[in-house]
């Protein structure tokens, strides 16, 4: 299936997916990949589907959705592999422009050192880049890239792309358990400070991964990454992407739901929680109840207390 959705997305609102790469041709074999193991490890760009076929399938889906009064915020290249391996990507973007809907791509950025790939991505409105590590050994362990790729070239390619791109750039850093991150969070954040993404997302695997040993990072590791990123990039630019597509920050009037929804986007300091409860005319017993039910957890960082939604995957 080439076109699917629209589906709700925290990053993109309502997104109609475009699957322009068959299962599973990629330049990485990430240990956490939810599509499964990479069947064909490739680096050469080539054609996969006819651009006209992609356009027709997407147009049909768009018309169906609009007939049902469904909103589409973005048409997003989010395939069963790496979208930039498609040599016709630029042509497909040009065709889809006719539909008058903003265009996005989620890429692992492995080919962004190539000028032709950057040229294609520059035609989009929104690009998500993967930055799981900026140190070679960790990158090779987690993303398991094609052996001829160079991390340094990729990082330089991202910075080159950012200089020219007028749209919205976000980054995604996936955290897995059983990995010693050492001072990697600081190194990643320093690189992101130079890249200047609109948002830096901290993610965890939320669906069954390619490798059975992979588990989501522990909450305290996620919290540490969040705090380090926030110190260097500013809190407003850092968010979790940990699998709850709930109404983050939409105050529904249900104090418990609202608290869980906010803490699934980022941790809340104790004073912020108390302030929130006061506004909602509720007391601390709400927090105690959520802690007892195992829905919320308490964490320490730099001598301060934080609250975060407990990860479903760790229940």
Residue 273 and residue 168 share a domain: no
Residue 269 and residue 171 share a domain: no
Residue 271 and residue 148 share a domain: no
Domain boundary among 184, 212, 243: 243
We report the CATH number of the domain holding residue 289 as 1.10.10.10
Which domain does 312 fall in, by range? 252-315
Tokens 């299936």 sit on residue: 1
Query: What pLDDT score does 239 carry?
Result: 92
Residue 200 and residue 295 share a domain: no
**Please, are residues 269 and 306 in contact by the beta-carbon 8 Å criterion?**
yes
H or E element: which one contains 269? strand 268-269
**Please, are residues 41 and 26 in contact by the beta-carbon 8 Å criterion?**
yes
Kindly report, residue by residue over 122-141, the tens digit of the pLDDT: 999 999 999 999 999 999 99
Residue 217 and residue 115 share a domain: yes
We report the CATH number of the domain holding residue 123 as 3.20.20.70
Residue 41 and residue 108 share a domain: yes
Residue 228 and residue 260 share a domain: no
Count of helices and strands (H, E) across the chain: 10, 13
More confident residue, 106 or 280: 106
Residue 286 and residue 227 share a domain: no
Kindly report, residue by residue over 139-183, the tens digit of the pLDDT: 999 999 999 999 999 999 999 999 999 999 999 999 999 999 999
Domain boundary among 194, 221, 243: 243
Residue 285 and residue 232 share a domain: no
Residue 188 and residue 311 share a domain: no
Q: Alpha-carbon distance 71 to 68, whole Å?
A: 9
pLDDT at 8 over 80: no
Residue 269 and residue 124 share a domain: no
Residue 195 and residue 116 share a domain: yes
Domain boundary among 226, 243, 260: 243
Kindly report, residue by residue over 65-93, the tens digit of the pLDDT: 999 898 999 999 998 899 999 999 999 99
Domain tally, the chain: 2
């Amino acid at each position: 299936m080439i076109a699917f959705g629209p589906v709700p997305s925290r990053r993109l609102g309502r997104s109609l997916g475009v699957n322009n790469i068959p299962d599973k041709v990629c330049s990485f074999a990430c240990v956490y990949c939810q599509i499964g193991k990479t069947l064909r490890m490739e680096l050469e760009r080539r054609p996969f589907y006819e651009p006209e076929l992609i356009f027709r399938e997407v147009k049909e889906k768009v018309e169906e959705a609009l007939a049902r009064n469904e909103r589409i915020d973005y048409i997003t290249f989010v395939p069963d592999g790496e979208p930039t391996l498609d040599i016709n990507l630029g042509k497909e973007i040009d065709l889809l422009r006719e539909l008058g809907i903003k265009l996005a791509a989620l890429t692992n950025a492995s080919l962004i050192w190539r000028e032709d790939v950057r040229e294609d991505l520059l035609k989009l409105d929104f690009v998500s880049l993967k930055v799981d590590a900026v140190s070679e050994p960790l990158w090779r362990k987690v993303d398991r890239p094609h052996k001829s790729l160079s991390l340094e070239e990729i990082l330089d390619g991202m910075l080159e792309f950012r200089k020219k791109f007028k749209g919205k750039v976000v980054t995604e850093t996936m955290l897995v358990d059983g990995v010693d991150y050492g001072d990697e969070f600081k190194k990643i954040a320093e690189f992101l400070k130079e890249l200047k993404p609109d948002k830096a997302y901290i993610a965890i695997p939320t669906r069954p991964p390619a490798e059975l040993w992979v588990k989501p990072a522990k909450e305290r590791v996620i919290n540490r990454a969040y705090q380090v990123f926030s110190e260097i990039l500013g809190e407003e630019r850092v968010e979790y992407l940990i699998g709850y597509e709930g109404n983050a920050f939409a105050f529904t009037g249900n104090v418990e739901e609202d608290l869980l929804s906010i803490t699934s986007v980022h941790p809340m300091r104790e004073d912020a929680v108390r302030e929130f409860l006061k506004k909602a005319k509720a007391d601390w017993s709400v927090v105690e109840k959520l802690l007892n039910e195992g829905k919320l957890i308490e964490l320490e960082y730099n001598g301060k207390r934080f609250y975060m939604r407990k990860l479903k995957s760790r229940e």
